[in-house]
Structure 1
Amino acid sequence: MLAGCASGSVDEQATAGPETGASGSGAVSPLDGELTVFAAASLGNAFDELAARFEHLHPSLDVLPITYDGSSVLATQLIEGARADVFASADEKNLDRVAEEGLVDGEPEIFATNVLEIAVAPGNPLGIDGLDDLADDAAPAPIVIVCAPAVPCGAAATTLFGEAGVQVTPASEEQNVTAVLTKVRAGEADAGLVYVTDIAAAGDEVEGVAIDGADAAVNRYPIAALAGAPNPEAAAAFAEFVTSPDGAAILESFGFGAP
Protein backbone atom coordinates (compact mmCIF):
# COMPACT_ATOMS: atom_id res chain seq x y z
CA MET A 1 0.00 0.00 0.00
CA LEU A 2 2.82 2.38 0.85
CA ALA A 3 4.58 1.58 -2.39
CA GLY A 4 1.41 2.28 -4.32
CA CYS A 5 0.94 5.63 -2.61
CA ALA A 6 4.54 6.60 -3.16
CA SER A 7 4.56 5.64 -6.83
CA GLY A 8 1.55 7.83 -7.29
CA SER A 9 3.62 10.77 -6.14
CA VAL A 10 5.60 10.59 -9.37
CA ASP A 11 2.44 11.12 -11.39
CA GLU A 12 1.08 13.74 -9.04
CA GLN A 13 4.29 15.74 -9.23
CA ALA A 14 4.66 15.26 -12.95
CA THR A 15 3.39 18.74 -13.59
CA ALA A 16 6.64 19.99 -12.08
CA GLY A 17 8.34 18.15 -14.94
CA PRO A 18 11.35 19.78 -16.54
CA GLU A 19 10.89 23.02 -14.56
CA THR A 20 11.91 21.43 -11.26
CA GLY A 21 15.55 20.72 -10.37
CA ALA A 22 17.03 18.04 -8.16
CA SER A 23 16.47 20.04 -5.01
CA GLY A 24 12.95 21.09 -5.96
CA SER A 25 13.78 24.48 -7.45
CA GLY A 26 15.50 25.89 -10.49
CA ALA A 27 15.94 24.52 -13.98
CA VAL A 28 16.87 20.94 -14.69
CA SER A 29 20.55 20.42 -15.40
CA PRO A 30 21.35 18.65 -18.68
CA LEU A 31 22.11 15.30 -17.12
CA ASP A 32 22.44 12.34 -19.46
CA GLY A 33 24.11 8.97 -19.74
CA GLU A 34 23.67 6.29 -17.07
CA LEU A 35 23.66 6.38 -13.27
CA THR A 36 24.74 3.39 -11.17
CA VAL A 37 23.59 3.27 -7.55
CA PHE A 38 24.57 0.85 -4.79
CA ALA A 39 22.10 0.93 -1.88
CA ALA A 40 21.32 -0.97 1.30
CA ALA A 41 18.70 -3.69 0.86
CA SER A 42 16.29 -1.95 3.25
CA LEU A 43 16.12 1.01 0.86
CA GLY A 44 14.67 -1.04 -1.99
CA ASN A 45 11.15 0.32 -2.44
CA ALA A 46 12.03 3.87 -1.43
CA PHE A 47 15.02 4.11 -3.75
CA ASP A 48 13.08 2.62 -6.65
CA GLU A 49 10.64 5.48 -6.19
CA LEU A 50 13.42 8.05 -5.81
CA ALA A 51 15.06 6.75 -9.00
CA ALA A 52 11.78 6.96 -10.93
CA ARG A 53 11.21 10.53 -9.78
CA PHE A 54 14.81 11.49 -10.58
CA GLU A 55 14.54 10.04 -14.07
CA HIS A 56 11.32 12.00 -14.57
CA LEU A 57 13.20 15.19 -13.72
CA HIS A 58 16.07 14.25 -16.05
CA PRO A 59 14.57 12.50 -19.11
CA SER A 60 17.96 12.05 -20.81
CA LEU A 61 19.38 10.16 -17.85
CA ASP A 62 18.99 6.40 -17.35
CA VAL A 63 19.14 5.21 -13.75
CA LEU A 64 20.22 1.60 -14.09
CA PRO A 65 18.52 -1.05 -11.92
CA ILE A 66 19.81 -0.32 -8.43
CA THR A 67 22.12 -2.86 -6.81
CA TYR A 68 20.67 -3.73 -3.38
CA ASP A 69 22.43 -5.83 -0.76
CA GLY A 70 23.78 -5.68 2.77
CA SER A 71 25.80 -2.51 3.28
CA SER A 72 28.90 -4.47 4.29
CA VAL A 73 28.65 -6.56 1.10
CA LEU A 74 28.33 -3.46 -1.09
CA ALA A 75 31.20 -1.70 0.68
CA THR A 76 33.44 -4.70 0.10
CA GLN A 77 32.49 -4.81 -3.58
CA LEU A 78 33.35 -1.13 -4.00
CA ILE A 79 36.67 -1.51 -2.19
CA GLU A 80 37.50 -4.47 -4.41
CA GLY A 81 36.92 -2.44 -7.56
CA ALA A 82 33.21 -2.44 -8.41
CA ARG A 83 32.25 0.72 -10.30
CA ALA A 84 29.31 2.85 -9.17
CA ASP A 85 28.32 6.49 -8.98
CA VAL A 86 26.55 6.59 -5.61
CA PHE A 87 26.60 4.54 -2.41
CA ALA A 88 23.76 4.70 0.15
CA SER A 89 24.50 2.67 3.27
CA ALA A 90 22.29 1.62 6.18
CA ASP A 91 25.02 2.72 8.59
CA GLU A 92 27.93 5.11 8.79
CA LYS A 93 30.50 2.40 9.52
CA ASN A 94 30.35 0.81 6.08
CA LEU A 95 30.37 4.08 4.18
CA ASP A 96 33.36 5.13 6.32
CA ARG A 97 35.13 1.97 5.14
CA VAL A 98 34.70 3.12 1.56
CA ALA A 99 35.77 6.67 2.40
CA GLU A 100 38.94 5.43 4.10
CA GLU A 101 39.96 3.90 0.77
CA GLY A 102 39.67 7.30 -0.91
CA LEU A 103 36.57 6.25 -2.84
CA VAL A 104 34.16 8.97 -1.67
CA ASP A 105 33.82 12.37 -3.32
CA GLY A 106 32.98 15.01 -0.71
CA GLU A 107 31.33 14.51 2.64
CA PRO A 108 28.66 11.81 3.12
CA GLU A 109 25.31 13.13 4.33
CA ILE A 110 22.81 11.40 6.61
CA PHE A 111 19.41 11.28 4.90
CA ALA A 112 17.23 8.88 6.95
CA THR A 113 16.95 6.76 10.08
CA ASN A 114 15.39 3.37 10.84
CA VAL A 115 14.82 0.98 13.74
CA LEU A 116 14.17 -2.73 14.08
CA GLU A 117 10.97 -4.65 14.73
CA ILE A 118 10.26 -8.34 15.10
CA ALA A 119 8.66 -9.81 11.98
CA VAL A 120 6.31 -12.74 12.64
CA ALA A 121 3.69 -14.64 10.65
CA PRO A 122 0.27 -13.01 10.29
CA GLY A 123 -1.73 -13.49 13.47
CA ASN A 124 1.46 -13.95 15.49
CA PRO A 125 0.79 -17.66 16.15
CA LEU A 126 3.43 -17.98 18.90
CA GLY A 127 2.23 -14.85 20.69
CA ILE A 128 5.61 -13.15 20.53
CA ASP A 129 5.49 -9.86 22.46
CA GLY A 130 9.14 -8.85 22.63
CA LEU A 131 12.76 -9.93 22.65
CA ASP A 132 12.30 -12.11 25.74
CA ASP A 133 10.10 -14.42 23.68
CA LEU A 134 12.98 -15.03 21.28
CA ALA A 135 15.38 -16.21 23.99
CA ASP A 136 16.97 -19.65 23.89
CA ASP A 137 15.12 -20.58 27.09
CA ALA A 138 11.71 -19.42 25.84
CA ALA A 139 8.95 -22.00 25.71
CA PRO A 140 8.26 -22.83 23.00
CA ALA A 141 11.65 -21.76 21.60
CA PRO A 142 11.02 -20.02 18.26
CA ILE A 143 13.16 -20.32 15.14
CA VAL A 144 14.80 -16.89 14.91
CA ILE A 145 16.60 -15.38 11.89
CA VAL A 146 18.76 -12.25 12.01
CA CYS A 147 21.23 -10.44 9.79
CA ALA A 148 24.92 -11.25 10.09
CA PRO A 149 26.71 -9.04 12.65
CA ALA A 150 28.72 -7.27 9.94
CA VAL A 151 25.50 -6.05 8.32
CA PRO A 152 23.85 -2.96 9.89
CA CYS A 153 20.62 -4.79 10.76
CA GLY A 154 22.67 -7.54 12.40
CA ALA A 155 24.77 -5.09 14.39
CA ALA A 156 21.57 -3.40 15.58
CA ALA A 157 20.06 -6.76 16.58
CA THR A 158 23.18 -7.63 18.58
CA THR A 159 22.95 -4.28 20.38
CA LEU A 160 19.27 -4.78 21.24
CA PHE A 161 19.79 -8.33 22.52
CA GLY A 162 22.64 -7.07 24.68
CA GLU A 163 20.62 -4.14 26.04
CA ALA A 164 17.75 -6.49 26.89
CA GLY A 165 20.03 -9.11 28.44
CA VAL A 166 18.56 -11.77 26.17
CA GLN A 167 20.54 -14.74 24.85
CA VAL A 168 19.39 -15.68 21.35
CA THR A 169 20.99 -18.30 19.12
CA PRO A 170 19.69 -17.60 15.61
CA ALA A 171 18.98 -20.42 13.20
CA SER A 172 20.84 -18.45 10.54
CA GLU A 173 22.52 -15.10 9.97
CA GLU A 174 21.69 -13.59 6.59
CA GLN A 175 23.74 -11.15 4.51
CA ASN A 176 20.88 -8.65 4.18
CA VAL A 177 17.54 -7.77 5.70
CA THR A 178 15.60 -8.87 2.62
CA ALA A 179 16.78 -12.45 3.15
CA VAL A 180 15.60 -12.37 6.77
CA LEU A 181 12.16 -11.14 5.77
CA THR A 182 11.93 -13.70 2.98
CA LYS A 183 12.47 -16.59 5.41
CA VAL A 184 9.78 -15.31 7.77
CA ARG A 185 7.38 -14.88 4.84
CA ALA A 186 8.09 -18.42 3.66
CA GLY A 187 7.51 -19.91 7.09
CA GLU A 188 11.14 -21.00 7.44
CA ALA A 189 11.44 -18.93 10.62
CA ASP A 190 9.04 -17.98 13.40
CA ALA A 191 10.58 -14.56 13.85
CA GLY A 192 13.16 -12.28 12.30
CA LEU A 193 14.58 -8.89 13.21
CA VAL A 194 14.05 -6.48 10.31
CA TYR A 195 13.44 -2.77 9.91
CA VAL A 196 10.04 -1.20 10.50
CA THR A 197 10.10 -0.08 6.86
CA ASP A 198 10.45 -3.70 5.68
CA ILE A 199 7.43 -4.78 7.69
CA ALA A 200 5.40 -1.88 6.33
CA ALA A 201 6.37 -2.77 2.76
CA ALA A 202 5.44 -6.43 3.29
CA GLY A 203 1.80 -5.52 3.90
CA ASP A 204 -0.29 -8.38 5.28
CA GLU A 205 2.38 -11.03 4.56
CA VAL A 206 3.97 -10.50 7.98
CA GLU A 207 3.08 -8.82 11.25
CA GLY A 208 5.36 -6.49 13.18
CA VAL A 209 6.01 -6.60 16.92
CA ALA A 210 7.50 -3.42 18.34
CA ILE A 211 10.69 -3.78 20.39
CA ASP A 212 10.91 -1.97 23.71
CA GLY A 213 14.05 0.16 23.63
CA ALA A 214 14.47 -0.07 19.84
CA ASP A 215 15.83 3.47 19.90
CA ALA A 216 18.99 2.09 21.51
CA ALA A 217 20.03 0.94 18.02
CA VAL A 218 18.93 3.56 15.51
CA ASN A 219 20.42 3.08 12.06
CA ARG A 220 21.52 6.31 10.39
CA TYR A 221 21.68 6.14 6.59
CA PRO A 222 24.41 8.14 4.80
CA ILE A 223 24.75 8.73 1.07
CA ALA A 224 27.73 9.88 -0.97
CA ALA A 225 28.82 10.34 -4.55
CA LEU A 226 31.84 8.16 -5.26
CA ALA A 227 35.26 9.29 -6.37
CA GLY A 228 35.94 8.22 -9.93
CA ALA A 229 32.21 7.91 -10.60
CA PRO A 230 31.50 7.17 -14.28
CA ASN A 231 28.88 9.95 -14.22
CA PRO A 232 30.01 12.43 -11.52
CA GLU A 233 27.48 15.16 -12.36
CA ALA A 234 24.55 12.77 -12.10
CA ALA A 235 26.04 11.20 -8.95
CA ALA A 236 26.21 14.55 -7.17
CA ALA A 237 22.74 15.52 -8.35
CA PHE A 238 21.16 12.25 -7.21
CA ALA A 239 22.75 12.48 -3.77
CA GLU A 240 21.47 16.05 -3.52
CA PHE A 241 17.98 14.94 -4.55
CA VAL A 242 17.86 12.17 -1.95
CA THR A 243 18.71 14.69 0.78
CA SER A 244 16.34 17.37 -0.54
CA PRO A 245 12.85 18.08 0.88
CA ASP A 246 11.32 16.15 -2.04
CA GLY A 247 13.56 13.17 -1.31
CA ALA A 248 12.77 13.35 2.40
CA ALA A 249 9.04 13.30 1.67
CA ILE A 250 9.39 10.14 -0.42
CA LEU A 251 11.48 8.43 2.26
CA GLU A 252 8.97 9.41 4.93
CA SER A 253 6.16 7.87 2.87
CA PHE A 254 7.97 4.54 3.16
CA GLY A 255 8.31 4.83 6.94
CA PHE A 256 11.86 6.14 7.26
CA GLY A 257 12.62 8.58 10.04
CA ALA A 258 14.20 12.00 9.59
CA PRO A 259 18.01 12.28 9.90
Structure 2
Amino acid sequence: MKKRIVALAVALALTGCGSSETDKPAPTPPSPRGGGVTGQLTVLAAASLTESFNQIGKNFEAANPGAKVTFSYGGSSGLATQITSGAPADVFASASPATMKTVTDAGDGAATPVTFVKNQLVIATAKGNPKGITSLAALARPDFKVALCAEQVPCGAAAKKALAAAGVKVTPVTQEQDVKAALAKVKLGEVDAALVYRTDAKAAAADVDGVEFPESAKAINDYPIVALKNAANPAAAAVFVAYVQSEPAQKVLADAGFQKP
Protein backbone atom coordinates (compact mmCIF):
# COMPACT_ATOMS: atom_id res chain seq x y z
CA MET A 1 0.00 0.00 0.00
CA LYS A 2 2.85 2.39 0.88
CA LYS A 3 4.42 1.75 -2.55
CA ARG A 4 1.12 2.63 -4.20
CA ILE A 5 0.84 5.92 -2.28
CA VAL A 6 4.42 6.88 -3.17
CA ALA A 7 3.79 6.09 -6.84
CA LEU A 8 0.64 8.23 -6.83
CA ALA A 9 2.48 11.14 -5.20
CA VAL A 10 5.22 10.96 -7.82
CA ALA A 11 2.62 10.92 -10.60
CA LEU A 12 0.89 13.97 -9.15
CA ALA A 13 4.21 15.78 -8.83
CA LEU A 14 5.04 15.03 -12.44
CA THR A 15 1.60 16.26 -13.50
CA GLY A 16 2.28 19.51 -11.65
CA CYS A 17 5.55 19.89 -13.52
CA GLY A 18 3.67 19.41 -16.76
CA SER A 19 1.73 22.63 -16.14
CA SER A 20 4.88 24.75 -15.76
CA GLU A 21 5.47 28.28 -17.06
CA THR A 22 6.31 26.88 -20.49
CA ASP A 23 2.73 25.69 -20.87
CA LYS A 24 1.18 29.04 -20.03
CA PRO A 25 -0.18 30.96 -23.04
CA ALA A 26 2.05 33.72 -24.36
CA PRO A 27 1.01 37.27 -23.46
CA THR A 28 -1.50 38.65 -25.96
CA PRO A 29 -0.15 41.66 -27.87
CA PRO A 30 -2.20 44.86 -27.79
CA SER A 31 -5.22 44.61 -30.09
CA PRO A 32 -5.93 47.32 -32.64
CA ARG A 33 -9.44 47.35 -31.18
CA GLY A 34 -7.98 48.61 -27.94
CA GLY A 35 -7.48 47.70 -24.32
CA GLY A 36 -3.69 47.47 -24.47
CA VAL A 37 -2.18 50.96 -24.32
CA THR A 38 -2.26 54.04 -22.13
CA GLY A 39 -0.69 57.48 -22.02
CA GLN A 40 -0.57 60.55 -24.20
CA LEU A 41 -0.57 60.17 -28.00
CA THR A 42 0.07 63.06 -30.41
CA VAL A 43 -1.18 62.68 -33.99
CA LEU A 44 -0.39 65.13 -36.79
CA ALA A 45 -3.01 64.72 -39.52
CA ALA A 46 -4.14 66.30 -42.79
CA ALA A 47 -6.85 68.93 -42.31
CA SER A 48 -9.31 66.89 -44.38
CA LEU A 49 -9.23 64.19 -41.69
CA THR A 50 -10.46 66.54 -38.95
CA GLU A 51 -14.03 65.33 -38.46
CA SER A 52 -13.24 61.65 -39.00
CA PHE A 53 -10.16 61.56 -36.78
CA ASN A 54 -11.90 63.47 -34.01
CA GLN A 55 -14.47 60.67 -33.88
CA ILE A 56 -11.87 57.94 -34.29
CA GLY A 57 -9.86 59.50 -31.47
CA LYS A 58 -12.88 59.35 -29.14
CA ASN A 59 -13.51 55.73 -30.08
CA PHE A 60 -9.84 54.87 -29.58
CA GLU A 61 -9.83 56.43 -26.11
CA ALA A 62 -13.00 54.52 -25.20
CA ALA A 63 -11.35 51.28 -26.32
CA ASN A 64 -8.10 52.13 -24.50
CA PRO A 65 -8.93 53.48 -21.04
CA GLY A 66 -6.04 55.63 -19.90
CA ALA A 67 -5.04 56.69 -23.42
CA LYS A 68 -5.42 60.33 -24.47
CA VAL A 69 -5.15 61.38 -28.12
CA THR A 70 -4.27 64.94 -29.13
CA PHE A 71 -4.61 65.94 -32.78
CA SER A 72 -2.92 68.73 -34.71
CA TYR A 73 -4.42 69.32 -38.15
CA GLY A 74 -3.07 71.29 -41.10
CA GLY A 75 -1.73 71.11 -44.63
CA SER A 76 0.23 67.88 -45.02
CA SER A 77 3.29 69.62 -46.43
CA GLY A 78 3.49 71.94 -43.42
CA LEU A 79 3.04 69.04 -41.00
CA ALA A 80 5.79 67.09 -42.76
CA THR A 81 8.12 70.05 -42.36
CA GLN A 82 7.28 70.25 -38.66
CA ILE A 83 8.15 66.57 -38.21
CA THR A 84 11.46 66.76 -40.07
CA SER A 85 12.29 69.87 -38.02
CA GLY A 86 11.88 67.90 -34.80
CA ALA A 87 8.33 68.68 -33.70
CA PRO A 88 7.22 66.08 -31.12
CA ALA A 89 4.63 63.65 -32.51
CA ASP A 90 3.80 59.95 -32.41
CA VAL A 91 1.85 59.45 -35.65
CA PHE A 92 1.60 61.21 -39.02
CA ALA A 93 -1.41 60.83 -41.33
CA SER A 94 -0.88 62.55 -44.67
CA ALA A 95 -3.17 63.38 -47.59
CA SER A 96 -0.60 62.27 -50.16
CA PRO A 97 2.34 59.88 -50.61
CA ALA A 98 4.53 62.81 -51.71
CA THR A 99 4.27 64.60 -48.38
CA MET A 100 4.71 61.32 -46.52
CA LYS A 101 7.88 60.71 -48.54
CA THR A 102 9.32 63.93 -47.10
CA VAL A 103 9.08 62.33 -43.66
CA THR A 104 10.29 58.85 -44.57
CA ASP A 105 13.19 60.15 -46.68
CA ALA A 106 14.34 62.06 -43.60
CA GLY A 107 14.31 58.78 -41.64
CA ASP A 108 11.51 59.89 -39.35
CA GLY A 109 9.17 56.96 -39.98
CA ALA A 110 9.25 53.99 -37.59
CA ALA A 111 7.81 51.62 -40.19
CA THR A 112 6.59 51.50 -43.79
CA PRO A 113 3.61 53.87 -44.24
CA VAL A 114 0.25 52.23 -44.95
CA THR A 115 -2.45 53.70 -47.21
CA PHE A 116 -5.68 53.64 -45.21
CA VAL A 117 -8.11 55.65 -47.42
CA LYS A 118 -8.42 57.56 -50.69
CA ASN A 119 -10.12 60.90 -51.37
CA GLN A 120 -11.46 62.72 -54.41
CA LEU A 121 -12.10 66.35 -55.34
CA VAL A 122 -15.42 68.13 -55.89
CA ILE A 123 -16.30 71.73 -56.69
CA ALA A 124 -17.63 73.41 -53.57
CA THR A 125 -20.20 76.16 -54.20
CA ALA A 126 -22.52 78.18 -52.01
CA LYS A 127 -25.60 76.27 -50.86
CA GLY A 128 -28.00 75.84 -53.77
CA ASN A 129 -25.21 76.47 -56.31
CA PRO A 130 -26.52 79.96 -57.21
CA LYS A 131 -24.04 80.43 -60.06
CA GLY A 132 -25.05 77.12 -61.67
CA ILE A 133 -21.53 75.70 -61.74
CA THR A 134 -21.59 72.19 -63.21
CA SER A 135 -18.07 71.63 -64.59
CA LEU A 136 -14.42 72.53 -64.21
CA ALA A 137 -14.65 74.58 -67.41
CA ALA A 138 -17.00 77.00 -65.64
CA LEU A 139 -14.25 77.87 -63.18
CA ALA A 140 -12.26 79.50 -65.98
CA ARG A 141 -14.87 82.24 -66.40
CA PRO A 142 -13.28 85.62 -65.57
CA ASP A 143 -16.34 86.74 -63.57
CA PHE A 144 -16.07 83.77 -61.17
CA LYS A 145 -13.90 83.97 -58.06
CA VAL A 146 -12.21 80.64 -57.32
CA ALA A 147 -10.15 79.42 -54.36
CA LEU A 148 -7.60 76.64 -54.69
CA CYS A 149 -5.18 75.04 -52.28
CA ALA A 150 -1.54 75.97 -52.78
CA GLU A 151 0.24 73.58 -55.15
CA GLN A 152 2.58 72.19 -52.47
CA VAL A 153 -0.46 71.05 -50.45
CA PRO A 154 -1.98 67.69 -51.53
CA CYS A 155 -5.39 69.19 -52.40
CA GLY A 156 -3.61 71.81 -54.52
CA ALA A 157 -1.52 69.18 -56.32
CA ALA A 158 -4.69 67.17 -56.99
CA ALA A 159 -6.49 70.27 -58.29
CA LYS A 160 -3.60 71.01 -60.65
CA LYS A 161 -3.74 67.45 -61.98
CA ALA A 162 -7.52 67.53 -62.45
CA LEU A 163 -7.44 70.88 -64.23
CA ALA A 164 -4.70 69.64 -66.54
CA ALA A 165 -6.76 66.53 -67.31
CA ALA A 166 -9.70 68.77 -68.24
CA GLY A 167 -7.54 71.19 -70.22
CA VAL A 168 -8.84 74.05 -68.10
CA LYS A 169 -6.79 77.03 -66.86
CA VAL A 170 -8.05 78.69 -63.70
CA THR A 171 -6.65 81.84 -62.15
CA PRO A 172 -7.56 81.63 -58.46
CA VAL A 173 -8.10 84.74 -56.38
CA THR A 174 -6.52 82.94 -53.44
CA GLN A 175 -4.37 79.88 -52.78
CA GLU A 176 -4.78 78.43 -49.30
CA GLN A 177 -2.46 76.32 -47.14
CA ASP A 178 -5.04 73.63 -46.44
CA VAL A 179 -8.39 72.43 -47.74
CA LYS A 180 -10.39 73.76 -44.78
CA ALA A 181 -9.14 77.27 -45.48
CA ALA A 182 -10.16 76.99 -49.15
CA LEU A 183 -13.60 75.73 -48.16
CA ALA A 184 -14.00 78.57 -45.65
CA LYS A 185 -13.72 81.08 -48.49
CA VAL A 186 -16.85 79.55 -50.05
CA LYS A 187 -18.73 79.42 -46.74
CA LEU A 188 -17.94 83.08 -46.10
CA GLY A 189 -19.06 84.09 -49.60
CA GLU A 190 -15.62 85.40 -50.51
CA VAL A 191 -15.40 83.16 -53.59
CA ASP A 192 -17.91 81.49 -55.88
CA ALA A 193 -16.25 78.09 -55.82
CA ALA A 194 -13.30 76.10 -54.53
CA LEU A 195 -11.79 72.74 -55.36
CA VAL A 196 -11.94 70.71 -52.16
CA TYR A 197 -12.16 67.08 -51.12
CA ARG A 198 -15.50 65.32 -51.33
CA THR A 199 -15.28 64.61 -47.60
CA ASP A 200 -14.90 68.28 -46.69
CA ALA A 201 -17.88 69.30 -48.82
CA LYS A 202 -19.92 66.54 -47.19
CA ALA A 203 -18.92 67.68 -43.69
CA ALA A 204 -20.03 71.23 -44.57
CA ALA A 205 -23.22 70.17 -46.41
CA ALA A 206 -25.33 72.62 -44.40
CA ASP A 207 -23.42 75.51 -45.98
CA VAL A 208 -22.12 74.30 -49.35
CA ASP A 209 -22.93 72.03 -52.27
CA GLY A 210 -20.39 69.59 -53.68
CA VAL A 211 -20.45 69.36 -57.48
CA GLU A 212 -18.93 66.17 -58.85
CA PHE A 213 -16.85 66.30 -62.05
CA PRO A 214 -15.39 63.40 -64.07
CA GLU A 215 -11.79 64.64 -64.16
CA SER A 216 -11.53 64.16 -60.40
CA ALA A 217 -11.08 60.44 -61.09
CA LYS A 218 -7.66 61.30 -62.53
CA ALA A 219 -6.57 63.04 -59.33
CA ILE A 220 -7.48 60.71 -56.47
CA ASN A 221 -5.24 61.07 -53.43
CA ASP A 222 -3.96 58.15 -51.35
CA TYR A 223 -3.74 58.83 -47.60
CA PRO A 224 -0.80 57.08 -45.86
CA ILE A 225 -0.26 56.82 -42.11
CA VAL A 226 2.85 55.92 -40.12
CA ALA A 227 4.11 55.71 -36.55
CA LEU A 228 7.06 58.04 -36.11
CA LYS A 229 10.60 57.05 -35.19
CA ASN A 230 10.90 59.47 -32.29
CA ALA A 231 7.44 58.79 -30.87
CA ALA A 232 7.24 59.42 -27.13
CA ASN A 233 4.63 56.64 -26.91
CA PRO A 234 5.65 54.08 -29.55
CA ALA A 235 3.32 51.34 -28.26
CA ALA A 236 0.27 53.59 -28.50
CA ALA A 237 1.43 54.89 -31.89
CA ALA A 238 1.60 51.37 -33.34
CA VAL A 239 -1.81 50.46 -31.93
CA PHE A 240 -3.39 53.68 -33.23
CA VAL A 241 -2.06 53.03 -36.75
CA ALA A 242 -3.54 49.53 -36.57
CA TYR A 243 -6.81 50.90 -35.18
CA VAL A 244 -7.21 53.34 -38.09
CA GLN A 245 -7.16 50.31 -40.40
CA SER A 246 -9.68 48.36 -38.31
CA GLU A 247 -13.33 47.90 -39.24
CA PRO A 248 -14.76 50.41 -36.72
CA ALA A 249 -12.42 53.20 -37.86
CA GLN A 250 -12.88 52.36 -41.54
CA LYS A 251 -16.65 52.70 -41.09
CA VAL A 252 -16.21 56.20 -39.65
CA LEU A 253 -14.05 57.13 -42.65
CA ALA A 254 -16.44 55.57 -45.17
CA ASP A 255 -19.40 57.41 -43.62
CA ALA A 256 -17.44 60.65 -44.09
CA GLY A 257 -17.06 59.94 -47.81
CA PHE A 258 -13.55 58.49 -47.93
CA GLN A 259 -12.91 55.59 -50.30
CA LYS A 260 -11.27 52.28 -49.49
CA PRO A 261 -7.54 52.12 -50.23
Q: The TM-score by the shorter chain falls in which range?
A: 0.7 to 0.9
**How far does the alpha carbon of each residue in 1:1-43 deviate from its partner, in whole angstroms, 9 at most, with x for none?**
xxxxxxxxxxxxxxxxxxxx6434xx721x2220000000000
**What's the RMSD between the two structures over aligned residues?**
1.1
Q: CA deviation at 1:112?
A: 0.2
Deviation at 1:204, TM superposition (A): 1.9
Matched to 1:63, the amino acid is: V
In the alignment, is residue 28 of structure 1 matched against residue 35 of structure 2?
yes
Contact persistence 1:85–1:225 (CA under 8 A): yes
Match of 1:165 in 2: 167
| Structure with max Cα Rg | 2
Per-residue deviation, 1:213: 2.1
Question: TM-score by structure 1 length?
Answer: 0.87
Specify the code of the residue in structure 2 equivalent to 1:53.
N
What count of residue pairs does the alignment treat as equivalent? 232
> Structure 2 unaligned runs (5+)?
1-29
Match of 1:153 among 139, 152, 155: 155
The whole-number CA distance in structure 2 between the counterparts of 1:40 and 1:113 is 13
Superposition deviation, residue 214 in structure 1: 1.0
- TM-score for the superposition, normalised by structure 2: 0.87
- Identify the match of residue 129 of structure 1 among 114, 119, 134: 134
Distance 2:245 2:108 in 1: 20
Offset from partner CA, 1:87-114 (integer Å, 9 cap, x none): 0000011111100111000110000000
Measured in 1, the distance between the counterparts of 2:233 and 2:93 equals 16
CA contact (8 A) 1:70 1:175 kept: yes
Which of 194, 210, 213 pairs up with 2:212? 210
After superposition, residues 70-109 of structure 1 pair within 5 angstroms as 70-109=75-114
SS in 1 for 2:58: helix
Deviations 1:58-89 (A, max 9, x none): 1111112x100000010011111101000000
* 2:251 aligned partner: 249
Q: What runs of 5+ residues in structure 1 fail to find an aligned partner?
A: 1-20
1:179-194 aligned within 5 A = 179-194=181-196
Separation in 2, partners of 1:161, 1:22:
43
1:13 counterpart residue number? none
Q: Are the equivalent residues in 2 in contact too, given 1:160–1:213 (CA < 8 A)?
A: yes
% identity of equivalent residues: 46
Counterpart of 2:56?
50
Task: Could you list the structure 1 runs, at least 4 aligned residues long, displaced by more than 4 angstroms after superposition.
Answer: none
Aligned to 1:10: none
